[in-house]
Structure 1
Amino acid sequence: MDVENINSVYFVGAGGIGMSALVRYFLSKGKKVAGYDRTETELTKELNKEGAEIHYEDSVSMIPAYCMDKQNTLVILTPAVPDTHSELQYFRNNGFEIQKRAQVLGTITRSGKALCVAGTHGKTTTSAMLAHLLYQSHVGCTAFLGGISKNYHTNLLLSHKSPYIVIEADEFDRSFHWLSPYMTAITSTDPDHLDIYGTAEAYVESFEKYTSLIKQGGCLLMREGINLQPNVKDGVKIYTYSREKGDYHAENIRIGGGEIVFDLVTPEMRIVDIKMGVPISINIENGVAAMALSLLNGATPEEVKQGMESFKGVDRRFDSKIKTDSLVFLSDYAHHPSEIKQSISSLRELYNDKKITVVFQPHLYSRTNDFYKEFADSLSLADEVILLDIYPARELPIAGVTSQLIYDHLQSGTIKSVINKEELLAVLKEKSLEVLITLGAGDIEDYVPAITQMLEER
């Protein structure tokens, strides 16, 4: 089906961060857009205001008439929707064109020069940085982001002139194999999604296959030292990057007074005194990758430097809610042991003389079962750990797998507890807090506004 010639698009699972960017994209193309999602959220309310028709009951009768014409309707689904979904069954039984979100993104990447960011972690922030650097430069870009940009308050940026398309390349369900990158950064290949891949080796192999999809004349930018044997086409250049070494790296890093300043070293030049708009140490490395891809695609050193300073970050990614001399409160999406280690280490670097309290909601029974020891090691970098029950997302419980597994392996000396999320506000209210961070990819974010209000009132 030619995406340009369809009249309407129906989303089975419209409210996810990735799906909603496509909702906005097709609305911008003048298509009629409708869809289903399980629950109403602020994001789905915004999509309805922007022109989409989204409902929250799995019912074929609620599909608009203009989406009942299979010749002119594209149905897009998310892997999170079960095969038993009655609307999905209706579309399948009646011969509609049904594509995964990643397939549609793949079609879009073939229409321009796709700049993709892949990796177990860091891809949302890095792709949002890259999008901002290009969008505010003379180069421009269209961007499909995996989070809400705090610069633009959306997950979709549009350019009618620039050929560049920034995309977060998601490895879940091997989705990124649908893409056709012109250039890509790979931030990490730490094993994850073992419920899908089975083994760590299969997980890394999927990244190696992904590198074979890079178009001739493009390039692969890979983090120095990651477990990856690239399989690129002839004519694809390979560069390395990291915080401290590689073809692109930082030097003369200065951290203090709530600021981070450093120099970027590239194969061609040095850009001095780059000031970070979001001054956390992990963003040095994310920023090096974003700046490298920006420079490789025509942004000037001055534009890159200006863009790094004006970058405001992404909702739920080391997202600062309160920052005073006596109290710091942040929320972060980190849900993998390596991400948690980076988050807490960044806090420790910024606030080395303060007590760090972490609230962690594990995401998925399978991930907890695979990595409970690693979670415990990373969380033990904090002074106090408050564990919530596991957020199941798409999974059914696994016998014997609870947050207690992590609790039992936290290092001695760590103040620790396991509570129900409904108790969280009351528990925090009684604690002496200096630096507090909530971590997790589940519904812990729903509690952040109430925590913020309680702390401000206190």
Structure 2
Amino acid sequence: MELSNIQRVYLVGIGGIGMSGLARYFHHLGCVVCGYDKTPTPLTDKLQSEGIQIIFVDQRDLIPMSFQQPCDSTLIIYTPAIPKDSDILNYFQKKGFELQKRSQVLGLISRGMFCIAVAGTHGKTTTSGMIAHILKDSGKDCSAFLGGISTNYQTNVLYGDNNIVVVEADEYDRSFLTLHPDVAIITSMDADHLDIYGDHSHLTDSFKLFASQLKTGGTLIYRKGLPLGDGLTYAIDGEANAVASNIRISEGNFYFDFDNGVTFIPDIKMGIAGIHNIENATAAIEAALHVEVSLAAIHEALGSFKGIKRRFEYIVRNHKHIYIDDYAHHPEELRAAITSVKKLFQGKKLTVVFQPHLFTRTRDFVDGFAEVLDMADELLLLDIYPARELPIEGVTSEIILNRMNLRNKRICSKKEALDIVQAEMPELLLTVGAGDIDSLVEPLKAILNV
């Protein structure tokens, strides 16, 4: 399929963060863009306000007439998260439309461009957002497809006037294997998505295959310690090709020095918090240097980078209360978020509200969740968010609670969590999870922003 021929695009599962980015991209190109999703969200509301038609009933009769017959100018994109018995999905399949996954379309878009692809079981969204911001802020420019909403630009897709594209490369369903980047970054390869991969070794094999798909003369950048062989490594302190050192906190801000043996950038002020984000920034700097962004521009851009929505995002920050929201849904992501919060606000009691995401992930990492959540001073644990899965017998939030040593812990509903926060008014609050826990953000903000 030739992208230049496309005039109409229908997205089955348009409300996903990746799918919505493609919807915006094709709408920007002047295509007629429509789509279906299960439920309205603030993101689908925003897409509709931008002129994109969306339906929320899985019924083929509601598909616009212009999408009734297959043709070379019509593109149908779907997400693997859509159930196989979807009426709309089956309509397009039976009618003979050629359906493309989101990842395949990203591969088509990036094929003729200088592609910087960021992969990893965690860290990829913030790192790709940092790189895109450095390129935009410096005047180098780029297009970008991000896995979250950039706080600087209030969108998940950026449009550039040059040939550079930054892409978040998703390992779920082996989606990133459609990409052939010029610069590939791998931030982490922890066990995850075992419902897809079966075991950690198969996930590792997929990351190695992604790394092998570099274009001729391309560059691989990866976190020190990952089993990837040739390439440039990065790390916090220690030995690597690129190192962040002299890490310090001053007046609530993180600072560090960057050194890759050729380039030294001292006293970099981070616009966002977290030691894990200094590690992400080290990879982002290395990528920016490969497209010849100046040292001064990199220094300035990292200071003005405001992060990604729901990635260590300050919701309330006043003299009485600190409230941070984060997308963390894997034990190592939780560890990074909780460690950074405790380092920033030493001596304050930390209340964590956590919503497990997926029955399989809860089952596979129950011991890891229990260990990391024990770092909190108080835990409000919500029920598991099922997403695409059906319940698994014996797998509930309670299996995490039962393995924890923390005394101040309880399972509660979202409504009960709001009531508890209203009663206790915690001085330091962290909400974490990848499900619909984000629906608590505004109510919690209203409670604590006093």
Give the distance between the partners of 2:320 and 2:139, measured in 1 at CA.
Answer: 42
CA distance in 2, matches of 1:7, 1:120: 35
Per the TM alignment, residue 450 of structure 1 is displaced from its structure 2 partner at its CA by 0.4
Q: Which amino acid aligns with 1:70?
A: P
What's the counterpart of residue 80 of structure 1? 81
Question: CA offset at residue 414 of structure 1?
Answer: 4.1
Q: Which range moves more in the overlay, 440-449 or 419-428?
A: 419-428
Q: Distance in 2 between matches of 1:67 and 1:445?
A: 34
Tell me how far apart the structure 2 counterparts of residues 244 and 435 of structure 1 sit (CA, whole Å).
29
Matched, 1:374 2:368: yes
Partner of 2:347: 353
Q: What residue in structure 2 maps to residue 386 of structure 1?
A: 380
The answer to whether 1:212 aligns with 2:212 is yes
In structure 2, the residue matched to 1:233 is: none
Match of 1:333 in 2: 327
Distance 1:174 1:453 in 2: 40
What is the CA-CA distance between 1:184 and the residue it aligns to?
Answer: 1.0
Q: Secondary structure at the match of 1:433?
A: coil
How much has 1:326 moved relative to structure 2? 2.6
Mapped pair 1:195 → 2:156: no
Do 2:211 and 2:220's aligned partners in 1 also have CA atoms closer than 8 Å?
Answer: yes
Q: Which residue of 2 aligns with 1:417?
A: 410
Q: How far apart are 1:354 and its partner, in Å? A: 0.8
Q: Which residue number corresponds to residue 46 of structure 1?
A: 46
How far apart are 1:432 and its partner, in Å? 4.7
Instruction: Give unmatched runs, 5+ long, in structure 1.
Output: 231-236
Correspondence for 2:440: 447
Mean Cα displacement is larger for which, 251-260 or 129-138? 251-260
Which secondary structure does the structure 2 equivalent of 1:409 belong to? coil
What secondary structure sits across from 1:402 in the alignment?
coil
Other structure's SS at 2:384 match:
coil
Separation in 1 of the partners of 2:285 and 2:263?
A: 12
Structure 2 stretches lacking a partner, 5+ long: none
User: In 1, distance between residues paired with 2:48 and 2:426?
Assistant: 39
SS where residue 225 of structure 2 aligns?
coil
- 2:236 pairs, out of 237, 243, 247, with 243
Distance 1:373 1:283 in 2: 25
- Counting only pairs closer than 5 Å after superposition, residues 46-445 of structure 1 correspond to structure 2 as 46-71=46-71, 72-160=73-161, 162-226=162-226, 228-230=227-229, 238-245=231-238, 246-411=240-405, 413-445=406-438
Letter of the aligned partner of 1:372 in structure 2? V
Preserved contact between residue 380 and residue 414 of structure 1 (Cα < 8 Å): no
Q: Distance in 2 between matches of 1:279 and 1:136?
A: 20
Q: CA deviation at 1:324?
A: 2.1
How much does 1:325 deviate?
A: 3.1
Q: Give the stretch that moved more between structures: 189-198 or 432-441.
A: 432-441
Look up the SS of the partner of 2:361 in the other structure.
Answer: helix
CA drift of 1:339 comes to 0.2
SS of 2:246 mapped into structure 1: strand
Structure 2 residue matching 1:148: 3-state secondary structure: strand
Give the C-alpha shift of residue 422 in structure 1: 2.5
Which residue matches 1:20?
A: 20
Q: Partners of 2:262 and 2:131 in 1: how far apart?
A: 19
Contact 1:133 1:308 in 2 (8 A): yes
Determine the C-alpha separation between the residues in 1 that align with 2:273 and 2:57: 43
Aligned in 2, Cα 1:388/1:4: closer, same or farther, shift over 3 Å? Answer: same
How far apart, CA to CA, are the structure 2 residues paired with 1:154 and 1:382? Answer: 32
Deviations 1:95-120 (A, max 9, x none): 10100000000111212011011001
What are the Cα deviations for residues 217-254 of structure 1, in whole angstroms up to 9, with x where unaligned? 1100010012x234xxxxxx710001213111112222
For residue 49 of structure 1, report the CA deviation from its aligned partner: 2.1
1:57-106 CA distance string (max 9 Å, x none): 11111111122231121100011101100111111011101000000001
Deviation (angstroms), 1:23: 0.4
Distance 1:340 1:126 in 2: 17
Give CA-to-partner distance per residue, 1:158-216, whole Å, 9 cap, x none.
012x2111011000000001111111110110000000000111111110111111111
Are the counterparts in 1 of residues 425 and 448 from structure 2 also a CA contact under 8 Å?
Answer: no
Residue identity in the other structure for 1:129: M
1:21-52 per-position Cα deviation (integer Å, ceiling 9, x unaligned): 00010011111111101111221122122221
Query: 2:13, 2:19 within 8 Å by CA — same for their partners in 1?
Result: yes
Structure 2 contact 357–433 (Cα < 8 Å) conserved: yes
Amino acid at match of 2:138: S
Please give the alpha-carbon distance, in whole angstroms, between the structure 1 residues aligned to 2:289 and 2:29: 30
Distance in 2 of aligned mates of 1:454 and 1:17: 28
Helix, strand or coil at the partner of 1:140: coil
Equivalent-residue separation in structure 2 for 1:301 and 1:456 (angstroms): 38
Distance in 2 (CA, whole Å) between partners of 1:431 and 1:422 is 14
Q: Mean alpha-carbon deviation: is it higher for 337-346 or for 36-45?
A: 36-45
Find the aligned partners of 1:9 and 1:328 in 2 and give their Cα distance: 43
Q: Contact conserved, 1:9 with 1:33, CA < 8 A, in 2? A: yes
3-state DSSP of counterpart to 1:306: helix
Q: Is this contact kept in 2: 1:222–1:238, CA < 8 A?
A: yes
CA distance in 1, matches of 2:302, 2:49: 32
CA distance in 2, matches of 1:394, 1:307: 37
Range that drifts further, 372-381 or 427-436? 427-436
CA contact (8 A) 1:355 1:383 kept: yes
CA deviation vs aligned residue, 1:107-162 (integer Å, no higher than 9, x gap): 112120110110010111111011000111132100001000000000011012x2
Does structure 2 retain, via aligned residues, the 8 Å contact 1:388–1:403? Answer: yes
Q: TM-score, normalised by structure 1?
A: 0.96
